[in-house]
Structure 1
Amino acid sequence: MREDFPNDDELRSNFEELLASVRGGDGLFTESGLDTETENALLAIARAYPEVPDHLITAARRAFAGQLDGSNAAAVKAATARKIAEINRRGTTR
C-alpha cells in the first residue's frame, strides 16, 4: 500500500495506462491516484467498449487535466460548501 501521493509524472503514466486499459476492454486498477471525476470518465469509456466515441476520450482527458490543474478539487469543494450552506440554512428556519 502506498503512503504518499503520486507526483504529476506518475499520475500521467497511470492515466495513460488506464486509458489504454479501458479502451481495450479491460478495467481500472485501484490506488492509481486519479480523482473520482477522472475515474468516472474512464468508467464511461469502459461501459461504452467496444464502440468508444471520441467525445468520451476527450472527456477523460479533460477530466484528467482538471485533476492536474486543481479545478476538479475546487468544484468538489464548492459543491460541498453549497450543500453545507443549504443544510445550515434549513436548520435555522425551523
Structure 2
Amino acid sequence: MRRGRPTKAQLEQSFDRALLRSIAEGGIASGTGLDDETQNTLLAVARAYPNATDELVEAARRAFAGQLDGSSTARWRAEKHHRLTGEQEQ
C-alpha cells in the first residue's frame, strides 16, 4: 500500500499505464492517484474504444498536465468558491 502523495514520476507512470489501457482495452483503473478531471478524460477515451480519437487522447494529456501543474486544482477551488459564495475568486 502506498503512503503519502505519489511523486511526479509515479503519477506519470500511472497516467501512461491508464492511458494505454484506455486506448488498448477500453478500461480504466481506480486508485491511480489521478485527479477526477484526468480520470474523466480517460473514461471518455475508454468509452470510445476501439476508436479513440487523437482529440480524446490529447484532452486526457491536457487534463493530466493540469494535474501536474496545479491548474486543475486551482480551477476546482475557484469553482467551489463561486458555488459557495456566488462571488468570483480574486
Q: Which amino acid aligns with 2:37?
A: E
In the TM superposition, what is the alpha-carbon distance from 1:2 to its structure 2 partner? Answer: 2.7
The runs of 4+ residues in structure 1 deviating greater than 3 Å are none
Q: Which residue of 2 aligns with 1:92?
A: none
Partner Cα separation in structure 2 for residue 17 and residue 33 of structure 1: 12
Q: Which residue of 1 aligns with 2:39?
A: 39
- Residue 11 of structure 2 is aligned to residue 14 of structure 1: no
**Which deviations, in whole Å up to 9, do the C-alpha atoms of 1:25-59 show, x marking residues without a partner?**
24222221100000000000000011111000000
Q: Which runs of 5+ in 1 are unaligned?
A: 87-94
Q: Which runs of 5+ in 2 are unaligned?
A: none
Secondary structure class of the residue paired with 1:3: coil
Q: Provide the alpha-carbon RMSD of the alignment.
A: 1.4
Q: State the aligned residue count.
A: 87
What aligned pairs does 1:49-64 form with structure 2 within 5 A after superposition?
49-64=49-64
Matched residues, percent identical? 44
TM-score, normalised via structure 1 length: 0.87
TM-score, normalised via structure 2 length: 0.90
